[in-house]
Structure 1
Amino acid sequence: MKIDYMQALKRTNNALGAWLIHGQEPLLEQNLLDEFRKEWRSKDIERQRYDIQSVHDWKNVFNALNSLSLFSQQLAIEVHGNIKPDANGLKLLKAFIQHNEQNLLVIVMPKQDTQSLKSSFIQTVEANGTLVSLQANYPKDRQHILEIEAKKLSLHLENDAWPWLLEHHEHNLLAAKNSLIRVSDTFPELANVGIKELHSCLQDQSRYSAYDLSDSLIAGHFEQSIKIYQYLIATGEPSTFILWVISKEMRLLMQLFEQPHQGIQLGIWKTKVHLYQKALQRLDAQEFLNWPSLLLNIDLSIKGISNQKPELLILQAIGQLCGKVLFR
């Protein structure tokens, strides 16, 4: 079954089997995963996460799905990455879909092109599970999604303010949502927010964006990356958004190291493939082994689950992407 983002939000309750969500809209990915996790917490369903760095990692995923712990009756597993299972992994996927009626597998991948969507792996999920495309191609779709976010904040924008907000952020939904949060904090008592209020509140945010941080990290410009990071935090971007940017670049680099000639297939823009290849030449591949645990530690610290400071861990991640080891 193939559904879109809005349909998927309505189907997270009691979801079972295999789900594959793909796209390049971090807000939609974040929202959908939040709905899944809320469901799992409410029903005490055990959650595990796996980051796929090679086809061999899929075996660990299916071993976990087929072996519950003593304290769990149900298991939900999140898989993040862009490496599809091999023939043996596909066999294990089909066995899971056919015989496991109590667990849930949620696979999170970057946007898949037309050719990738025809692969046996994705076709198997679509035919026997749920395939979700996270995209909002049209202005009315993007506005509708942001109107829902604004409603959560008890915020109402005038009709002509929506196009201005989207154009200001180059149609980046997550950045637009973060700006809605800032506007809500700035004008808590205002019934209707117009372009005038948006402009006064957000005009300074155009100095740096997440795209600038990504470009600086891949170029290895450490001082500039720190400057952009500090600016984004100072202007209201949440640490979760910064983590998403860092995580995306780390995973692309790790995947490109494993598949050096598959840059475009991994989701890297054609004009930027050479920049990522140059970054690989600059970086020590041995450090890649530490990146998944570093990303997990940042995630836990942001959520308050660990005692570590997310700011220091994020600085460490920025340093490693730029080829500088700040802490051990």
Structure 2
Amino acid sequence: MKLDYLQALKRIDEARGAWVLHGQEPLLEQNLIDAFRSSWQKQEIERQRYDITSVSDWKTVFNALNSLSLFSNQLAIEVHGNIKPDASGLKELKNYLQHNEQNLLLVVMPKQDSSSLKTSFFQVIDANGVNVALTANYPKDRQQILAVEAQKLGIQLANDAWQWLEQHHEHNLLAAKNSLMRVRDTFADAEVIQIDHLYACLQDQSRYSTFDLSDALLAGNLAQSIKIFQYLIASGEPSSLILWSISKEMRLLMQLFEQPHNALQLGIWKTKVSAYQQALRRLNPQAFLNWPTLLLRIDSSIKGSGSENPEHLILQAISSMCGKELFQPFSA
């Protein structure tokens, strides 16, 4: 049986037989291990841990699984390593799965490639045990996982704050959870955590941030915007996060142009309303027609599906938001 992380969390108390956890997400691995250990303690299940450094270590594991102490009715064996059982060990594994319905073998492994997942060991686990891939490949999956973490911490995030958090940490779930803990402690009285809360809490000692870029863009300061952009690129800021900040400001300006009296309803902070209004007065609405296509071109170039240079395209977006033309038409 194959389960994902969230499905596995719901079945821990009933776990028996053999479970294998594998992946490269330390937050997911640690959460599941902690949940297993808590469940074993609650059910008074004896726990033993073994680290596999050679194939022969599996013999010790199976000997332990088949022998209970005088004080235990159930046993949980926690195994860590990346060495699979050999033919003799697989025979022991099959025998254990067929005859021992009370104990649990929990194997924790690093990320496995596609060929490893096709080996006899994983075929046995898929058919008779539980195979849990510790992955979160899609934004929806990562947000669901972090939403569970936020719920445990007793906090709630605005929708765009989730997106900012993920971009800020470049999909690092463990770092994102640590940031949730930090923002919870910093803004304990906030009903809903907004982007500004995250930024105020998580900003590092960098000279500039994407928030500085947004302010310069709204002010129409092209030289400062380019200076900040170049600094962000040089300091390793993800292009996807820079694009997210620019596209957010572009969307808000276009929406405010259509709904000039609904700034607060659109999500613009009260202290920033005048900055957006001034930007609208400065900009030519005709430029708005080109923005959606330009954003799509930038997104494609960042993802590698376009042939254009993403930094050049971002510079075009920056200049357009500042009401300037980056490339002047050539005249003879």
Matched, 1:136 2:129: no
Name the residue aligned to 1:37.
37
Aligned to 2:9: 9
Q: Give the equivalent residue in structure 2 for 1:155.
A: 155
Q: Secondary structure at the match of 2:72?
A: coil
The 5-angstrom pairing of residues 283-302 of structure 1 reads none
Q: CA deviation at 1:14?
A: 2.2
The answer for the alignment partner of 1:104 in structure 2 is 104
Question: Structure 1 regions of 5+ residues with no counterpart?
Answer: 208-328
Query: Is residue 85 of structure 2 the alignment partner of residue 76 of structure 1?
Result: no
C-alpha displacement of 1:86? 1.0
Partners of 1:191 and 1:102 in 2: CA distance: 45
Q: Which protein shows a greater Rg?
A: 2
- 2:273 paired residue number: none
1:204 paired residue number: 204
Shift >2 Å, 4+ stretches: none
In structure 2, what is the equivalent of residue 280 of structure 1?
none
Percent of aligned positions with the same letter in both sequences?
70
- The residue aligned with 2:329 is none
Mapping of 1:173-322 within 5 angstroms? Answer: 173-204=173-204
Shift, 1:134, TM fit: 1.1
SS of the residue 1:78 aligns to: strand
Paired residue secondary structure (1:160): helix
Find the aligned partners of 2:162 and 2:89 in 1 and give their Cα distance: 45
3-state SS of 2:203 partner: helix
Distance 1:206 1:2, change over 3 A: farther
Amino acid at match of 1:5: Y
Which amino acid counterpart does residue 116 of structure 2 have in structure 1?
A: S
Paired with 2:156 and 2:102, the residues of 1 have a C-alpha distance of 42
TM-score by length of 1: 0.61
* Distance in 1, Cα, partners of 2:206 & 2:132: 32
Q: Distance in 1 between matches of 2:11 and 2:193?
A: 33
SS at match of 2:15: coil
Shift of 1:38: 1.5
SS at match of 1:33: helix
Aligned residue for 1:190, secondary structure, equals coil
Deviations 1:293-316 (A, max 9, x none): xxxxxxxxxxxxxxxxxxxxxxxx
Name the aligned partner's letter for residue 179 of structure 1. S
**What is the CA–CA distance in structure 2 between the aligned matches of 1:144 and 1:7, rounded to whole Å?**
12
SS of residue matched to 2:159: coil
Q: Secondary structure at the match of 2:12?
A: coil
Indicate the residue corresponding to 2:54 in structure 1.
Answer: 54
Residue 51 of structure 1: how far off its partner (Å): 0.8
Mapped partners of 2:71, 2:147: distance in 1: 41
2:18 maps to: 18
Q: 1:39 Cα shift?
A: 1.2
In the alignment, the residues of structure 2 paired with residue 22 and residue 64 of structure 1 have an alpha-carbon distance, to the nearest angstrom, of: 23
Paired residue type of 2:48 = Q
How far off its partner does 1:206 sit?
8.0
Q: Report the Cα distance in structure 1 between the residues aligned to 2:204 and 2:85, rounded to whole angstroms.
A: 45
> What SS class does the counterpart of residue 131 from structure 1 fall into?
strand
Change (3 A) 1:153 1:198: same
Amino acid aligned to 2:153: L
> What does residue 113 of structure 2 align with?
113
Deviation at residue 42 of structure 1 after TM alignment: 0.7
Amino acid at match of 1:106: L
1:163 deviation in Å?
1.3
Partners of 2:205 and 2:141 in 1: CA distance: 24
Work out the CA distance in 1 between the residues paired with 2:40 and 2:102.
13
State how far apart, in whole Å, the 2-side matches of 1:140 and 1:147 are. 10
Structure 2 unaligned regions, length at least 5: 208-332
